Chain A
Amino acid sequence: MSDVSLIDELPGELLMWVLIISELLVFGAGMIAFMGVRLTDPVGFAEAQSHLHRTGAAFNTAVLVTSGYLAALALKWREAARRGAARLALVASASLGVVFLIIKGVEYTDKAAQGIGFETHPFFLFYYLLTGFHAAHVLAGVGILLLVAWRDDPRNIEAGAQFWHMVDMVWIMLFPVIYLLG
């Protein structure tokens, strides 16, 4: 019988995995609720969705997966004692997080200019809640990446990168549900 428990197999801190699972469940429940409410007015949801910028959101997917790649590289480089390269990768990763937020900000500004708000249609209530909550996580992630670039212990970088990959994964599921499944 092996002495290694299943829990010990998880890379990094257990609490970070508890957080990752909790966040996935919260966003997952939100997306299921969105699809459930869509059943009450599929035509209205499709019409509302046509106001979204799919190209910008698709570009943001590429931005986030590239940012995640840099965060993953930073951990490898720090473990190989390449501290300067790791810090640079983390700052670049955080910068791409800022690019994501700028594109998201442009999208929100455009909606506001069209007079689209929370109460315009139930679609937009979910749109703002889910993408806004995700954007708040991106903002937190940018701060965490910069923090671990400064306090660059490998365990810190691993935890920061794991948080960032969770944010990335949530967007990968959120994007098709909100922007594509009309």
Chain B
Amino acid sequence: MSENTLTRAWLALLGLSFGSALLTMIPAPPAVLGGGILLLALVKTRVILARYLDLAESPAWLRGFSMVLTGFAVIIFGLYLI
């Protein structure tokens, strides 16, 4: 993992965090808002796994972690919508 890749990952994380903050300011139905916020959080965790934790070099593990975290986000979203 090069320094440039890490820097791009960091900028992406800051951008996604800013995106989450912006999302909370727009008037949108709760389902869209909650879904969008959780989706952005999921993308952030994937960036950390792939770039900071170097799992981009181990695609099977990255896929496994992503699947479990997606399942977790789906449960949270489902409970949010009930």
Give the Cβ gap from B57 to chain A, nearest Cβ, in Å.
7
A140 interface hit (Cβ, 8 Å):
no
User: A6-B61, A58-B20 are contacts. A172–B48 as well, Cβ < 8 Å?
Assistant: yes
Assess whether A62 is in contact with B14, with CB atoms less than 8 Å apart. Answer: yes
* Residue numbers in A under 8 Å from B67 (CB-CB): none
A156 interface hit (Cβ, 8 Å):
no
- Interface segment among A106-114, A145-153, A161-169: the answer is A161-169
Assess whether A58 is in contact with B21, with CB atoms less than 8 Å apart. Answer: yes
* Residue numbers in A under 8 Å from B6 (CB-CB): 69, 72-73, 76
Give the Cβ gap from B56 to chain A, nearest Cβ, in Å.
10
* Residue numbers in B under 8 Å from A131 (CB-CB): none
Could you tell me which residues of chain B, from 2 to 23, have a CB within 8 Å of some CB in chain A?
A: 2-3, 6-7, 9-10, 13-14, 17, 20-21
Assess whether A73 is in contact with B3, with CB atoms less than 8 Å apart. Answer: yes
Assess whether A165 is in contact with B48, with CB atoms less than 8 Å apart. Answer: yes
Assess whether B17 is in contact with A62, with CB atoms less than 8 Å apart. Answer: yes
Assess whether A9 is in contact with B37, with CB atoms less than 8 Å apart. Answer: no
B26 interface hit (Cβ, 8 Å):
no
The number of chain B residues with a CB under 8 A from chain A is 38
Assess whether B58 is in contact with A65, with CB atoms less than 8 Å apart. Answer: no
A32 interface hit (Cβ, 8 Å):
yes
Could you tell me the dominant secondary structure of chain A's interface residues?
A: helix
Give the Cβ gap from B18 to chain A, nearest Cβ, in Å.
8
Assess whether B24 is in contact with A54, with CB atoms less than 8 Å apart. Answer: yes
Assess whether B38 is in contact with A165, with CB atoms less than 8 Å apart. Answer: no
Assess whether A32 is in contact with B79, with CB atoms less than 8 Å apart. Answer: yes
Q: In the complex, which residue of chain B has the Cβ closest to the Cβ of A65?
A: B13
* Residue numbers in A under 8 Å from B82 (CB-CB): 39
* Residue numbers in A under 8 Å from B58 (CB-CB): 9-11
Assess whether A180 is in contact with B52, with CB atoms less than 8 Å apart. Answer: no
* Residue numbers in A under 8 Å from B49 (CB-CB): 169
Give the Cβ gap from B41 to chain A, nearest Cβ, in Å.
5
Known: A32-B72, A39-B79, A73-B6. 6 other contacts (CB 8 A): A11-B54, A69-B13, A72-B1, A76-B6, A168-B52, A169-B48
11 A–B contacts, CB within 8 A, in A order: A9-B58, A35-B80, A36-B79, A39-B79, A58-B21, A61-B17, A76-B1, A172-B41, A172-B48, A173-B69, A180-B20
Q: Which residues of B contact A (CB under 8 A)?
A: 1-3, 6-7, 9-10, 13-14, 17, 20-21, 24, 34, 37-38, 40-41, 44-45, 48-49, 51-55, 57-58, 60-61, 69, 72, 75-76, 79-80, 82
